[in-house]
Amino acid sequence: MPELPEVRAHAERLSLALGGRILSRFTGFNFTVLKTVQPAPDSAISRALRRVHQRGKFLLLEFEETTFVVHLMQGGRLVVDDKLALKPRGGQARWTFTEPPAMLLTEHGTERRVGVWCVPTDRALEVPPLAELGPDATDVDVETLGELFLMHPMRLHGFLRDQHRVAGLGRRLANEVCHRARLSPFANTSRLTTEETERVHVAILEACNESLEFERSQPEMLPSAKRPSRVHGRTGEPCPVCGDMVRAVEYSDYTVNYCATCQTGGKVLADNTTSKFLK
């Protein structure tokens, strides 16, 4: 699933390509894609697209009175649409402007998990789905992060992925942050020292900023496998810091990657969810 850096860079590309264009029509190709009733999508017709920006993993298409909030989930993409096909392959929704090109939301496969919410622009951050988010991970200062750790005692990897705690990080960046911070992915957040919290804070900023720099150099949003990483998705490869083998704890729908030498004092984490995990 695209994370904060990918979504932010893509928002910048779309804003540059389509910002200022006047909306003439919104088309939902799948009745499940629109998650709200009021305000209606038509309330944005004849209005200019002010900008496309980002909050957490969401894209925001901001018009004067109405903002479209878009979540791409795993397989969705929001792209500039030059073809304007009558029935676009994988098409879920289209924003047509008075002059081409349009903007097309696609999702291939059968899950149909992408979503579009219409919300009042002046209250976009105060209503679902954005109201449910924690602060963007890149906006959290170290003091606030420490307070959140104490308020929500849980495994560090799970905390980083929890959009209600901090928004924008997913499986890849959670792996990368834990590795950069030299902490076990299963360290309990309430037991982290001030120095360890500072390391997590620095690791979040470094991982996000490096990823954002890479994404801004790309012409489009890339598949997850093509995004650079130190440990994520590199099970069995050497750790770029110490040379030890990158290991994995496998779950049904995701993998936690880590380096035992860098993060757990050389101890290997058992590959099951009921183990007594290490700090």
- Nearest alpha-carbon partner for 132 in 198, 57, 62: 57
Domain boundaries, the chain: 4-132, 137-263
What share of the chain in percent tops pLDDT 70?
97
pLDDT (0 to 100) of residue 272? 58
For residue range 180-192, what is the model confidence (pLDDT) as tens digits?
999 999 999 999 9
Stretch 153-164: mean pLDDT, rounded? 98
Q: Which tokens hold the place of 66?
A: 């109405």
Give CA–CA dist 106/240, Å, rounded.
36
Residue 22 has pLDDT above 90, yes or no: yes
Number of alpha carbons in the 13 Å side-chain half-sphere of residue 145? 25
Q: Can you say whether the dihedral through the CA atoms of 51, 54, 60, 62 is positive or negative?
A: negative
235 phi and psi angles, rounded to 5 deg: -55, 130
Residue 26 has pLDDT above 50, yes or no: yes
Residue 235 has pLDDT above 70, yes or no: yes
- Nearest alpha-carbon partner for 113 in 169, 43, 38, 57: 57
CATH value of 137-263 in 1.10.760.10, 1.10.10.10, 1.10.8.50, 3.40.50.150? 1.10.8.50
Residue 44 has pLDDT above 60, yes or no: yes
Mean pLDDT of the chain: 94
Spell out the residues 6+ positions from residue 58 whose beta carbon is closer than 8 angstroms to its own: 7, 69, 70, 71, 129, 130
Among 107-111, 161-165, 171-175, which is the least confidently predicted range? 107-111
Spell out the residues 6+ positions from residue 244 whose beta carbon is closer than 8 angstroms to its own: 238, 259, 260, 261, 262
Give CA–CA dist 264/278, Å, rounded.
7
Give CA–CA dist 3/153, Å, rounded.
23
Task: Please state the CATH superfamily assignment of the domain spanning residues 4-132 in this structure.
Answer: MutM-like, N-terminal (3.20.190.10)
**Bridge partner residues of 247 (DSSP):** 258
Spell out the residues 6+ positions from residue 202 whose beta carbon is closer than 8 angstroms to its own: 180, 181
pLDDT (0 to 100) of residue 278? 45
For residue range 241-263, what is the model confidence (pLDDT) as tens digits?
999 999 999 998 889 999 999 99
For residue range 194-233, what is the model confidence (pLDDT) as tens digits?
999 999 999 999 999 999 999 999 999 988 888 999 999 9
